[in-house]
Amino acid sequence: MTVEIEGVTLHLAHPDELPVRWVGQEELMRQLLAAWMVVTEHDVPMNPRLIGKPGVGKTTLAYAAAKRMGRDVFIMQATLDTRPEDLLITPVIEGAGRLRYVASALVSAMILGGIVILDEGNRMSEKSWASLAPLLDNRRYVESIVAGVKINAHPHFRLVTTMNDDASTFELPEYIHSRLQPQILIDFPEKDEEYQILKENLPFAEDRILQYVTDFLQQAHAADERYSVRDGINIARYAIKLKSLATGIEHEKYALETSLLETLGEEALRYVRRPRVTT
């Protein structure tokens, strides 16, 4: 798809389609949807940030909320070397020395009235964030020096950024920090919710496997380990594959412990419930 802005033809990105569903923690969904609301014609949507440990479902929540609003979703992965032009418009040489201007997922969402998820936003440098400053306040526009155009956001455009709660990130400058509000904290789910998330992602898994992995995750959460439901999905999926190559219930425990060991390492075995020995 292409659009023309100020005489410049832009090639737009396609929206993302993910087979995900948000399970549980409806209060978090309510908080995110509230941030995106506009209550009068003079109001503007907010730019929330979702903060939590890796694998707790930040991107899933953002995607599910966007779909609940009936909007197209564009996901843009931020990295340490994301440049301002990567966030906006990139020129591509297209035969005979001609330039083709390719809009990023973020700019495509701005033009089409979609919702952009800027994933792991605190991995970006201040220089990259600076290019988005006018988009994140009442001005709601960006300027591409490369293409020489100013792009205003569609009234339906919304933005959310996810941020991992770890040390391998940049500190946000204050002028950006104040534009990315509210801050919505996502913690590990409760036991029943965690089980339902596993079941949603692995509908073919036997209940014993799901219960084992849920118990392991809950023990790890209680010890403040960073193991997430994403890790649990990988453990269960690999265990199912290992078990499929053997027969008998006695192979299930071996498959689960082997999967746990090879997915997370020996340290993770301390959070497996062991049967009590009675004398």
Domain ranges of the chain: 2-185, 191-271
The tens digit of pLDDT for each residue in 218-272 reads 999 999 998 999 999 999 999 999 988 865 556 788 899 999 999 999 999 999 8
Determine if the pTM surpasses 0.75: yes
Beta-bridge mates of residue 100: 92
CA-to-CA dists, residue 153 to 43, 108, 165, 213, angstroms: 14, 10, 29, 44
Q: What is the pLDDT of residue 250?
A: 60
Distance CA 211, CA 205 (A): 10
Pick the CATH number of 2-185 from 3.90.920.10, 1.10.1740.10, 3.40.50.300, 1.20.1440.230: 3.40.50.300
Q: What is the DSSP string of 131-184?
A: TTGGGGSTT-EEEETTTTEEEEPPTT-EEEEEEESSSSSPPPPHHHHTTS--EE
**Strand pairing report for 49-52 and 158-164:** parallel
The tens digit of pLDDT for each residue in 145-200 reads 999 999 999 999 999 999 988 755 678 889 999 999 999 999 999 999 999 999 99
CA-to-CA dists, residue 273 to 136, 184, 213, 233, 269, angstroms: 48, 33, 10, 18, 9
**Strand pairing report for 89-93 and 141-144:** unpaired
In the structure encoding, which two tokens stand for residue 177, read together?
Answer: 């920090």
